[in-house]
Structures are given as C-alpha cells and as structure tokens.
Structure 1
Amino acid sequence: MNSVVISLKILIVEDEDSKLVEWQDAIDSHNADAENKGYTLDYKVAKSITDAEKILELFRFDAAVVDLRLQKEVGVADNNTDGNKLVHYIIKAQPMGVAVYTGQRGDADVANYGSPQVEVMDKGDGFEQVFIWLEKNKDIFLKLRGVKAIYNRETARIFYKSIWPRWQHWNLDLTQDLTEVVARHIIAHVHDALLVAGGDSTHPEESYFVPPMKERLDTGDLINFNDRRWIVVSPRCDLANQGKVKTILLAACEDISEVWDPLFISTSKGSKERVKKLIQHDGSLKQHFLLPMRDGISGSKGPWMVQFDDICALSADQALNNVVNLRFASLSPMFVPSLVERFGAYFSRIGTPGFSSE
C-alpha cells in the first residue's frame, strides 16, 4: 500500500521566462519521484511585486521563493533589488517560509528582514538547495497549515455562535472602526476554547514571548542584568504610565536546570513526584516556579525559581530607559497573574510574634 505523499504549496517569484522553464522542469522531475522525495510541489508563479501581492491575497502558501531583481510591472524590465520589498511584505503579512533565491546574494537585505529564518541562496548553486530547504522545514510548514485550519475552525464556530449575534448591533455605529476590537474578541474566544480543548494544559513555550512583544518594560519581562537573571514584578499600571513611580522592582531568578534536567528525563515515580513539587514552587511561599524555554537560536534556558526575598530596586529612569534592551523574554499574559499574586501574597503576609515559654 502506497504511503500518502503530502503536497507543499509554494509561490515562485521570478521574472525571467527562461528561469521559469528551468523551475518547471526541476519541479516536474521532483514530483515524478515524489514517493522517494516525501512530498510533491504545487506552485504558482509571479513575475512582479504587484503580481505576487495579488496572488498572496487570493491563495495561501507554505513557502515563497523570491528572486531579488523583479519587474515593477509584468512585462516591464527593470534592474533592481525590489525582491527585498516583497520579502518584507511577506514577513509582515503572512506566516510562511521565505527563501531568497538570487544571483545577487550580496544585495539581500538580511540585516533588516527581522527573521533569521529567511534563507538566502545563490542561484549558481542550483535548485536542489531549495528542495533540501523545503524538506528540512516541511514539518514546520505542515504544522503551520494545521494551525491555520484549527484557527479557522474555531473562529467559524465562535463567529456564528457568539461574535455575529453580538457585534452586528455595534455595526450600526459607523463612527467607530471596530475591526481590531472584534479581532481581539475573536482571538480571546479562540484562545480559551483551545485551552479548554487541551484539558487546560500548556506547552512550556506557551509561557513566554521571545523576544518580548512590547517596546516598553512590562510586568513579567525577563532580563539579563549585572550577570544575573531577573524578572520585573512591579505592577503593570506603574510601568504603563512613565513618571508614576520612582522605583521599579526586579526579583532574582535562580536557575534550577541542574536539578530539573535529570529529574525531567527520569521515568522513576520518585522523580516525577519531585518534578510536580518543583512546579508547585517547591512548597515555598518565597519563590515562584518558571518553566524552561528556548531562545530564538534554540538555546535552552531555565527553568528558574523566582526569589521574592532577593529583590533589586532600580530607579524608574534607569529601568525604563536602560534595562529595556536587556530583556530576552517576557511571560505571556496567561502566566503573569500567578506571578504577581504570589509576589503580593509574600509581601502582604503579617506573621505573628514568636512564642516564648520563659
């Protein structure tokens, strides 16, 4: 019985007819050996930025392969590096793989793409490198396709059940553009629906935004400062309004990977129980557990125990102006309330005097 061969959908952006003929031959040859290759290619072609943008609006692709020198309009030759503009457009508009396939490798605007995942390839090295890149990232592309399908399914269900009945009345007010408001509302519904469907369980990577999304300092930001790692524990309202407070508080993060790693990979019952206890802050009120994470280059960091009894107070000016660039991640909004709640509970405890029998 033949195994199912998946099909990757790609957009080829190339303005030379002779090169497009070579592309067609290479893809036909690849598809003829699909069972051994593991996937087929379904492709569309664009010769200009305008053409490519129109196609991207109509279709969804797993990846795009972009030449740098493109016609500004179909049929109008021009010696340029406008393919860089299309790469920037794709990065901002759609989540997909992007490869720059060019004879002018040095003209690729790598420093400003904003994503190390954009692959730059030299045309002189042939098509095979493109196929190798697609094979290497195939699973990511397919997972992303699955994410889109799940999101569309949940959006449709929520739209008909909740969003449309409620927001159709707001549309009568033409003085407001509620597009972003409705988008936030839908996303909030979808997030909770998927969390419930997953049994209220999350993957460690869901705990963090890497890099931080906000340009300003925020509660839950993780920082490298004075050769140590810290997390911002000052309230969000103090950070959102510059000048409101004079001091910003950071709590130290103690790396516990040497304890965690061997326990986490162990299959013994005792190790699993110990892991559960660590996740529950190791039973201590003065600390808070943070899950491990990976940075943008796949480096492993953490897990940590936030130490509420090891606090650093920085002037607001220093924190808001100098520390922002030292951030390497931030807790996602789902995990910030627990941190703040435990921090507040630790400092609000009153305690009682000790008992003396004398």
Structure 2
Amino acid sequence: MIQKLKLLIVEDDNDQYDLYTDAIEELNEDDTDKIRIEITREKNSDNALQQISSEKFDGAIIDLNLEGEENNQASGNKVIRRVLEQHRFPIFIVSGNLGNLDDDIVNYPSPFITSYNRDDDVQYAEILKELKEIFKTGITKILGGRGLIEEHLKKIFWEHLANDYKNIASTTEQSSEKTLLRYALSHLSEYLAEYSDGESRYFHPAEYYIKPPIQKHIATGDIISQNNKHFINISPACDVAVRKVNEDGTLKINANKVILAPLIPVLRESFLEKGIIKAHDPAKTIEKIIGEIVKGQRDKYALLPEYSDLNAKLIDFQNIETIEVNEYQEFNREATVAGIFLKDIQSRFSSYMARQGQPDLDKSILIGKYKNILKPE
C-alpha cells in the first residue's frame, strides 16, 4: 500500500521549484519504501498561511523572501512561526537570505527545524530523504495537526465528555479546568493503549524517559547527577510535591529529605567494584547474572536501559541515601522515568524493602517424605 507524504513547498522562484520537483519525481519512481511525495506549492506567505490552516501536511520546505515583498521583509518567517505555534510537522528552511531569519526561530530548540543556505550547493534529494525518514516513524500521523490524537480528542469530546458534562460541571470553578484536563488525559491514554497493529509488544527505550524533565523543579523518577555520580529519586510523589518556591529559589515540599537510590553503570569495572560479578566468572556465569537482572529476578537491582546520551545503569536498592531538599537543586536533572515504568520501579523497591526470610526447614526430610507419598504403587 502506497503512503502519501504531503509536502508544502513555499517558494516563489520557478527555477528553484523545478529542482525540487525533479528530485521528487526521481524519488517517487523508486517505490521500494511505498511512500509517494505529493506537493502543494505556494509563492507567497498569505497563501501558504491559508494552506496550512486548511490542509494537513507532513512537512514543509520554506524560503524566506517570497513573492510580492521587499528583500528585507522575509515573510517566510510568518509561515514558519505559524507552524511552530499551531501545527506539528518538520520544517526545512532553504534560502539564500538566512540572515533574515528571525532570532527566535534561529534559537528555537528543535532539530525538526533545519536551515540550508541555498548558495552552499544544497542536496535537495537528501532533504527529501530526511523528510521521508521522519515520515516513516509515524510522527506526523500520530502527532500531526490532524493526526490520531486529534481524532481521539474529538471522540472524547462528543462521545464521553458530552455525556458526563453535567456531573463535571458540578465541580468548583477553580478545579474544573484541572478536572477536565485529567479527564481528557485518562480517556486519551485508554484510546492510545488500544492503538496497536500487533506487530510489536515491546516498548522502545525512548518511551522509558521524559527528556528533558517536564516537572519544573523535582519529580519522583528524576535521573540526577553530580560529580559523575548518578542517582534516581525514589521518594513518594506526595513527598516531593512542590508546595512553594521561596523568593531565594529554595523549595518547600512535604518532606524534609529526598530519597535517592544510587545508579551503577553497566560496565565491567563497576560490576566488579560492587561485587555483582567476580573477576574469574566465565562468560556463561556473567550471562546468567545479567539475565536475572534484566528479568527482574535479583531483588536489589532494577535496570534502566540506555537511550540517547543516557547510559544503561542499575538502580541499587540496597544502598539508598537521603539529602536535604535544597541540596537537590545542586544536581543536574538529566531525565525523568515515565510513569508506567516508574510504577514498576516503585513496586520492586517496595517488595525489596518488605521482603523477609522464610523460616528454614530440613528440606531433605521433606523431600524424602513427600517422595514416598507421591511415588507410584
């Protein structure tokens, strides 16, 4: 089945536009990836703004200086800003006047905004291939301006919220917006849990972390570091809820201390130092130990997978530490473990702390006794 990648090209120069169409025609002839690029072209910012308001796109290539304007107007900035404010698809800026790009766009912190100087022998086919690679992930299908999330939000509004409106309306004015937000998120989570084509039952490590952290100051599940030492915040969420940020920037939370579990890098020297493996252990023994840790069969450890610049580490439940609340801000917050995975970590920590030894019996006597009972006549 051929998928259609809808591309907006905002370009007033016909010769420049022909370079795009030539590259697109060549890519479309090769249908091995089953993706066909469909182009919508606009020559000025007004028409481009109308297009992105009425059509769904998977990406845009935008020039800065467009038809019907003076050289210093660079109305392509308006189109870029509209996408950033109201839509969700990657932008490729191709222009011979990148000096006219507005500072807030230049400094926008996203690799989904890429600039190319037209005078630097731009490889148009490479831009289009990069766009196709982004499209293959399904990002625009799920999160695009009229993607799957929007479809489900529409269902939540008409099929759920409309029926529950009178009950929700009884909440106080102060809490009604928060109630509605939580209501929408819980329903959306249920819808997205059903979104599966059955091809994969495994999570990607990107789903494990929220990076950078969303909570502004502190959160349970924070991965933090200081002086090349790493920890995870395993305090109960109610303990670290921020009640007040003082004028000096210090925090007031429900607890006096924050509970941290140290993280052990998945490296041979670290495992040797902590006694997880021994220097003379053969490869099969090491494989067995790693297997037990990954499968959650060693109570005192939990694995944090590697992702991006976060290296794989073990949570060490046996050597927890506490720090003062306001020491927390001296640490670097690298990421936060996402909620569904954090629940598992907290559950395993609770199980580890609550474990107790089973009173021992003479197992050899029991084995002999029950063997005689169960053996055939």
Q: Which residue of 2 aligns with 1:55?
A: 51
Return closer, same or farther for 1:309/1:226 CA change in 2, 3 Å cut-off: farther
Query: CA offsets per residue over residues 72-115 of structure 1, 9 Å max, x none?
Result: xxx56472355445434423433322112122334444652111
Secondary structure at the residue paired with 1:219?
A: coil
Q: State how 1:1-358 maps to structure 2 within 5 Å.
A: 7-14=4-11, 17=12, 19=13, 21-34=14-27, 40-45=37-42, 47-48=44-45, 50-69=46-65, 75=68, 77=70, 79-81=72-74, 83-84=76-77, 86-108=79-101, 109=103, 112-125=107-120, 128-144=122-138, 145-147=140-142, 164-171=158-165, 173=169, 180-181=181-182, 183-194=184-195, 201-242=202-243, 243=252, 244-256=254-266, 276-281=291-296, 283-295=297-309, 301-319=310-328, 321-323=329-331, 326-349=332-355
Return closer, same or farther for 1:140/1:248 CA change in 2, 3 Å cut-off: same
Q: TM-score, normalised by structure 1?
A: 0.74
Query: What is the aligned length?
Result: 324
Deviation at 1:121, TM superposition (A): 0.5
Q: Which residue of 2 aligns with 1:262?
A: none
Deviation at 1:252, TM superposition (A): 1.1
Query: CA offsets per residue over residues 111-155 of structure 1, 9 Å max, x none?
Result: 5211134211112235x5233122134122133245469x95687
Query: Is the Cα–Cα contact under 8 Å of residues 87 and 113 in structure 1 kept in the other structure?
Result: no
Q: Which residue of 1 aligns with 2:274?
A: none
- Stretches of structure 1 that go unaligned for 5 or more consecutive residues are 260-267, 296-300
Query: Is the Cα–Cα contact under 8 Å of residues 69 and 80 in structure 1 kept in the other structure?
Result: yes
Equivalent-residue separation in structure 2 for 1:196 and 1:276 (angstroms): 29
Equivalent-residue separation in structure 2 for 1:113 and 1:207 (angstroms): 25
Return closer, same or farther for 1:158/1:9 CA change in 2, 3 Å cut-off: closer
Query: Is the Cα–Cα contact under 8 Å of residues 10 and 44 in structure 2 kept in the other structure?
Result: yes
Query: Is the Cα–Cα contact under 8 Å of residues 224 and 335 in structure 2 kept in the other structure?
Result: yes
Identity level (%): 22
Return closer, same or farther for 1:270/1:36 CA change in 2, 3 Å cut-off: farther
- Stretches of structure 2 that go unaligned for 5 or more consecutive residues are 244-251, 270-282, 362-377
Query: Is the Cα–Cα contact under 8 Å of residues 27 and 41 in structure 1 kept in the other structure?
Result: no
